[in-house]
Amino acid sequence: MLYFDHNATAPLSPAARIAWLEAQERYPANPSSLHRPGQRAEVALESARDSVASILGASPSSLVWTSGATESAAAVFAHLAGVSRPGSEAWISALEHPCVQEAARRFFGERLRILPAATHGTLDLAALRELLQHPPAGLPAAVALMAANNETGVLQPWQEARELCAAVGVPLVCDATQWLGRLPAKGLGVCDYVLGSGHKFGAPVGMGFLKTPAGGGFHPLVVGGPQEEGRRAGTQNVAGAVAFAAALAEAEGMHGQISGRLGWRRSFEERLVLELPGASVLGAETERLWNTVAFLPPPLADCRQRWVVRLDAGGVAASSGSACASGKEKPSHVLAAMGVAAADSDRVLRLSSGWGTTESDWERAGAVIRGIYQRFGAPNAPKRA
């Protein structure tokens, strides 16, 4: 099976696997325990925190281990709702992952403002600038903008958004889930809050972090113990943290390969657009993650047949939009924000590769797609050889 669904979950990376197994063996104790095995576990946990913080360019004390980005998002908005001026809004981009949307809605209710996106799939920065200059209900408790979109791979102008926000003292929440492990993480540490999740880049599922402003107080969402300096109760997952740090460090060492991998993806896209009538790549005109392509293929003759199911039968694991949105009839909010018609968005395919994906994997996936079109494509769409 050609696995092209890394944006949903990536397989465990070799470094993470070794680190996880070793840590399970070597640190069987609770890192809060005062005996020596406990202390050794704590040292391993803190060394993993130091490593991730240094990769992000953040202070170790600003990092809180969590179970993943969904928990980090819930924790951030619970905290912000607890500390912000009564009545203040949360502003989030129209492109955010459902975990950010729903957490903001849960804790801010009606006081949620959606920032518009431009049709090529990035936040409309001019609209954010204008709103920050003339905030309709006062400055918000925070602005949330992801670093890279999970459905399209489109890179977001988070650095510019952070500068605009910092100039007026508004914190930026950056969901870096799809950026981490794919593009250099340095610089993310300047964002006030950063959400990260290990299973998108080779660390075990169930391991993530939240970067908070260093030294600031934090209203914990998960209560019941003093772990993580009172910011997240519960016994820490030492082996998970060690594996997370190992996977991130391993991925950071791969960045020299990015331009080659962009080339593989570009060739895949060019051939598809040339050979499948009416096919288009979403966000083609803007910068995207090297690993992701979201494209709209021509319809299949039997409109009940789904491309993603045909691909699975052909040996390619891909996805249609967000994994969280699959199975729902509701069209993707990201594609809607980019102006994709609801009737078309159902057909959009997302292929997301990993560091282990080869050029020939991209070529074989392209051949499977072309084969499906030749066998099952709608007869009214002109077929090309």
**Active-site annotation, residues:** 324
Residues 67, 74, 294, CA angle at the centre, nearest 5°?
80
> What is the nearest approach in angstroms of ligand PLP to the Cβ of residue 177?
4
Residues 45 and 41: their CA atoms lie apart, in Å, by: 6
Find the helix or strand (DSSP H, E) in which 167 lies: helix 158-167
Does 153 bind ligand PLP (CB under 6 A)? Our answer is no
> What is the nearest approach in angstroms of ligand PLP to the Cβ of residue 82?
22
> What is the nearest approach in angstroms of ligand PLP to the Cβ of residue 113?
20
**What DSSP line would sit under 260-289, residue for residue?**
HHHHHHHHHHHHHHHHSTT-EETTTTS-B-
Binding ligand PLP (rule: CB under 6 A), the pick from 101, 197, 319, 352 is: 197
Residues 335, 100, 58, CA angle at the centre, nearest 5°?
115
Of the pair 178, 353, the CB lying nearest ligand PLP is at 178
Does 97 bind ligand PLP (CB under 6 A)? Our answer is yes
Query: For every residue of 17-60, which 3-state class applies, written as one string?
Result: HHHHHHHHHHCCCCCCCCCHHHHHHHHHHHHHHHHHHHHHCCCH
Residues 290 and 223: their CA atoms lie apart, in Å, by: 39
Does 122 bind ligand PLP (CB under 6 A)? Our answer is no
Q: What part of residues 288-347 is at the interface with ligand PLP (CB under 6 A)?
A: 323
Binding ligand PLP (rule: CB under 6 A), the pick from 12, 19, 56, 69 is: 69
Binding ligand PLP (rule: CB under 6 A), the pick from 48, 99, 238, 242 is: 99
Of the pair 103, 300, the CB lying nearest ligand PLP is at 103
Find the helix or strand (DSSP H, E) in which 164 lies: helix 158-167
Q: What part of residues 32-61 is at the interface with ligand PLP (CB under 6 A)?
A: none
Helix axes 36-56, 238-252, angle to 10 degrees: 30
Does 101 bind ligand PLP (CB under 6 A)? Our answer is no
Of the pair 68, 299, the CB lying nearest ligand PLP is at 68
Residues 2 and 152: their CA atoms lie apart, in Å, by: 19
Three-state DSSP class for residue 83: helix
Of the pair 88, 150, the CB lying nearest ligand PLP is at 150
* The one segment of 63-71, 164-172, 274-282, 348-356 that binds ligand PLP by CB under 6 A: 63-71
> What is the nearest approach in angstroms of ligand PLP to the Cβ of residue 321?
11
Residue 339's region, left for phi above 0, alpha for psi from -120 to 50, else beta, is left
Binding ligand PLP (rule: CB under 6 A), the pick from 101, 150, 332, 353 is: 150
Binding ligand PLP (rule: CB under 6 A), the pick from 84, 177, 236, 353 is: 177
Size of the site for ligand PLP (CB under 6 A): 13
Residues 6+ apart with CB under 8 A from 346: 306, 320, 331
Interacting residues toward ligand PLP by CB under 6 A: 68-70, 97, 99, 146, 150, 175, 177-178, 197, 208, 323
